[in-house]
């Protein structure tokens, strides 16, 4: 697999542009008070990576404990705290802000031809909220942790545990508002800040995906917020809305929680889908097959995503009529995802394909997300869900979509836009190796869990019957490989900041507006207001553009 697209500038003369958003101002304060969406994106990138590795270290502890059937490494309550904090950190402090707050923040204004997001101060505020929430969560973790699981099921979380539920709840509440402000900012920007000529159907699919995501963020997150407020009140004053002893209904909490948390899983996948559209189009040098279908399927996922939340409660005592409705709607929401997968596959058809690292991650995404998504169908099928729910099948399902799907997409995106963000290339060979390692490690870790789940091994178990051990050992071994696969990019990307080759404006010969300006970009993104005069993914336009340049220079 050789790199073929990259036409790096002549390395002997190439230099990073003197004026860029990184060099504009110096000093810590210039970062902490910045309104520049690109700098905020970098701040986010650093902070979410930090949280990812904390979550990852916790995952390592989970896997170590599960190496043997007994709970010998740690006591059961420690184990419970570890997987709870793993879930909470990974979801609220890593995956929800992962692509939107970093890549989305960095790229949406550039892709639209705007100078910044519509509300730069709100953008900075949302980062501060995120940091405040993160510190609070870490504080809760250090001073005793929380052992409710990431789902905070009542009445367990309200009356039966004495860990830091309130602190963690408040942390998630604040993180929620950070996410709301990000989403709100994106919607306003996409509506109001498009450059002349940038019509809705000329926007990159990445922007469409973020538009859909933002709708979910703005409309879903407040419901989580109120649910958490009620939990905190229940713990502090004992209000009783979720307390069966006082006449409340614990299931009401789950309704409110999943009303957010199901849409949240689409918050966690749609931006990744946006990345995949960009990557696949660029490396097959073709317009995305069925652009409108892909764009609308994002919106469809967002809208339908609001109607299916009770599929997390199939056996929890909701009415069976609800089960029917929610199972049916779950089937409907799965279709747009299938549409996307096939559209990406057909984008390759008659393309001119190269296999750089982002493309490898994208291929990984397609395979793993298909498996993850199809196992979602198992769970949406009410009858089968009875057997599979609350087992490792679910753990495998959501790690396939979240780690195999979104995390792969995130890595694809980080590699893809790394030259734009830093002006330097990552080392290609070793990064391809890392992609391969992650893929192998991932499958070894999580595929056995499907079998474990079908065999009946329950999730959130610190100890398990000995006959499940072999598959668990596979899983732990896989996690080790996976850990290495994730550590590698950190090392070589950091290395490349200093030693990477100079990338030039458009190393991938991609068509997005963000590639038509220098790397790293200016603080204002563009020297002059760009005018969008072509469709998205118009590679012929790019060819003509290059010819023009050659003609005018030569």
Partner 1 sequence: MSDSPVLTQDALEAAHHAHPPYQRHHFETMDQQNDATNFAMWLFLLTEIMFFGGLFTAYLILRNWYYPAFVAASHQLNVYWGSLNTLVLISSSFTMAMGVWCAETRRKSGLVLCLTLTFLLGLVFLGIKTIEYSEKIEKHHVPGFHYSLQSFLNPASDPAAAQYGDKPLALDMARKTELYFFLYFAMTGMHALHMIIGIAILGFMIFRARAGAYTTGHVTFVENFGLYWHFVDIIWIFLFPLLYLISRHQ
Partner 2 sequence: MSDISPVLWQFLVKWLTNFALFPPEASRIAPQMDALYFFIVLVSLVGLTIVILLVTSFSILYSKKRHPVAVQIEGSTLLEATWTIIPLGLFLVMFVWGALIYFRVYTPPANAMNIYVVGKQWMWKAEHPGGQHEINALHVPINRPIQLTLISQDVFHSFSIPAFRVKREAIPGRYTSVWFEATTPGTYHLFCTQYCGTEHSHMIGEVVAMSPDDYKKWLASSTSGSSLAQNGERLFASLSCNACHNTRPDARGPSLANVYGSKLRLSTGQTITADDAYIREAILSPSQHITQGYAPIMPTYQGQISEDGVIALVEYIKNLNSDYRVQQTTTTTDLLPESEGKAAPAGQTSAGKGMVNQ
Partner 3 sequence: MSEQAHHDEHEHHIVSPKVYVVIFLALLALTSLTVGASFIEMGIFNPIIALGIAVIKAVLVVLFFMHVKYSTKLTKLTVGAGVFTFFILIGMTLADYFTRAWGRW
Chain residues that interact with Cu ion, rule: CB under 5 A: 262
Q: Which of 372, 365, 242, 386 is nearest to 311 (CA)?
A: 386
Q: Which of 377, 395, 540 is nearest to 471 (CA)?
A: 395
Question: What b-and-e string marks burial along 539-548, b requiring 16 or more CB atoms within 10 Å of the CB?
Answer: beebeeeeee
Neighbours of 345 (CB within 10 A): 13
262 binds, among partner 1, partner 3, Cu ion, none (CB under 5 to 8 A by kind): Cu ion
The two structure tokens encoding residue 500: 């990477």
Phi, psi of 119 (to 5 degrees): -125, 80
Interface residues for partner 2 in 523-542 (CB under 8 A)?
539-540
Interface residues for partner 1 in 393-452 (CB under 8 A)?
none
Whichever of 34 and 431 has its CB closer to ligand HEA, that residue is 431
- Separation CA 501–CA 492 (nearest Å): 12
Whichever of 197 and 466 has its CB closer to ligand HEA, that residue is 466
287 binds, among partner 1, partner 3, partner 2, none (CB under 5 to 8 A by kind): partner 2
- Which residue of 46, 226, 229, 335 would you call a contact of partner 2, by CB under 8 A? 335
259 binds, among partner 2, ligand HEA, partner 3, none (CB under 5 to 8 A by kind): partner 3
Q: Hey, CA dihedral for 358, 360, 361, 366, is it positive or negative?
A: positive
CB 126 within 8 A of CB 44: no
The residue range among 204-212, 368-376, 463-471, 514-522 that interacts with ligand HEA, by the rule CB under 6 A, is 368-376
Is 72 an interacting residue with respect to partner 2 (CB under 8 A)? no
199 binds, among partner 1, ligand HEA, Cu ion, none (CB under 5 to 8 A by kind): partner 1
The residue range among 100-108, 126-134, 138-146, 187-195 that interacts with partner 1, by the rule CB under 8 A, is 187-195
Note the maximum CA span of the chain. Answer: 83
Which residues of the chain form contacts with partner 3 (CB under 8 A)? 191, 199-200, 215, 219, 223, 252, 255, 259, 306-307, 310, 318-322, 325
DSSP 436-481: HHHHHHHHHHHHHHHHHHHHTPBSS-SS--GGGHHHHHHHHHHHHH
> In sequence order, which residues have a C-beta less than 8 Å from that of residue 249 and are 6 or more positions away?
241, 242
Is 396 an interacting residue with respect to ligand HEA (CB under 6 A)? no
Interface residues for partner 2 in 396-455 (CB under 8 A)?
451, 454-455
Is 244 an interacting residue with respect to partner 2 (CB under 8 A)? yes
DSSP 94-146: IIHHHHIIIIIHHHHHHHHT-SS-S-HHHHHHHHHHHHHHHHHHHHHHHTT--
Q: Which residue ranges make up the site for partner 1 (CB under 8 A)? A: 114-120, 122, 180, 184-185, 187-189, 191-194, 196-197, 199-200, 218-223, 225-227, 230, 233, 237-241, 246-249, 252, 255-256, 524, 529
Q: Which residue ranges make up the site for ligand HEA (CB under 6 A)? A: 53, 56-57, 59-60, 62-63, 83-84, 86-87, 90-91, 94-95, 149-151, 265, 268-269, 311-312, 314, 330, 333-334, 337-338, 341, 370, 373-374, 376-377, 379-380, 385, 389, 394-395, 397-399, 401-403, 405-407, 445, 459-461, 475, 479, 482-483, 486-487
């Amino acid at each position: 697999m050789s790199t073929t697209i990259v036409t790096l500038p002549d390395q002997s003369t190439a230099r990073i542009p003197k004026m860029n958003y990184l060099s504009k101002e110096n000093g810590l304060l210039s970062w902490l008070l910045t309104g520049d969406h690109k700098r905020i994106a970098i701040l986010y990138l650093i902070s979410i990576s930090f949280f990812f590795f904390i979550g990852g270290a916790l995952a390592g502890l989970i896997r170590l404990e599960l190496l043997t059937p007994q709970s010998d490494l740690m006591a059961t309550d420690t184990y419970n705290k570890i997987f709870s904090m793993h879930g909470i950190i990974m979801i609220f402090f890593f995956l929800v802000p992962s692509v939107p707050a970093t890549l989305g923040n960095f790229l949406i204004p550039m892709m639209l031809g705007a100078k910044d997001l519509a509300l730069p101060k709100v953008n900075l505020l949302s980062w501060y909220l995120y940091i405040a929430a993160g510190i609070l969560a870490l504080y809760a973790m250090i001073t005793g942790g929380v052992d409710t699981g990431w789902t905070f099921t009542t009445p367990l979380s309200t009356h039966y545990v004495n860990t830091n539920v309130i602190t963690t709840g408040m942390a998630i509440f604040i993180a929620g508002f950070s996410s709301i402000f990000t989403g709100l900012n994106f919607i306003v920007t996409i509506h109001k800040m498009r450059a002349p000529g940038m019509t809705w159907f000329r926007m990159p699919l990445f922007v469409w995906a973020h538009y859909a995501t933002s709708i979910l963020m703005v409309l879903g997150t407040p419901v989580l917020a109120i649910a958490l407020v009620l939990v905190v009140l229940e713990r502090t004053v004992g209000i009783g809305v979720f307390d069966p002893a006082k006449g409340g209904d614990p299931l009401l909490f789950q309704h409110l929680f999943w009303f957010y948390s199901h849409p949240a899983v689409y918050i966690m996948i749609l931006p990744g889908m946006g990345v995949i559209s960009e990557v696949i189009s660029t490396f097959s040098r073709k317009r995305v097959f069925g652009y409108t279908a892909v764009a609308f399927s994002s919106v469809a996922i967002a809208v339908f995503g609001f109607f299916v939340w009770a599929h997390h409660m199939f056996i929890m005592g909701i009415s069976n009529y609800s089960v029917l409705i929610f199972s049916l709607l779950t089937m409907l929401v799965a279709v747009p995802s299938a549409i996307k997968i096939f559209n990406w596959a057909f984008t390759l058809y008659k393309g001119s394909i190269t296999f750089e690292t982002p493309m490898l991650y994208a291929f990984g995404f397609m395979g793993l997300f298909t498996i993850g998504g199809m196992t979602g169908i198992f769970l949406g099928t009410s009858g089968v869900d009875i057997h599979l729910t609350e087992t490792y099948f679910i753990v495998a399902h959501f790690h396939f979509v979240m780690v195999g799907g979104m995390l792969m997409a995130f890595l694809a995106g980080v590699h893809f836009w790394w030259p734009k963000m830093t002006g330097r290339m990552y080392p290609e060979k070793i990064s391809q190796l890392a992609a391969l390692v992650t893929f192998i490690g991932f499958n070894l870790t999580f595929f056995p869990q499907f079998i474990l789940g079908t065999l009946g091994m329950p999730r959130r178990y610190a100890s398990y019957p000995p006959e499940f051990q072999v598959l668990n050992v596979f899983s732990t071994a896989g996690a080790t490989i996976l850990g290495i696969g994730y550590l590698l990019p950190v090392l070589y990307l950091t290395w490349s900041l200093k030693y990477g080759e100079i990338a030039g404006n458009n190393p991938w010969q991609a068509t997005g507006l963000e590639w038509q300006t220098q790397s790293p970009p200016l603080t204002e993104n563009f020297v002059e207001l760009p005018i969008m005069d072509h469709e998205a993914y118009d590679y012929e336009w790019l060819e003509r553009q290059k010819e023009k340049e050659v003609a005018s220079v030569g």
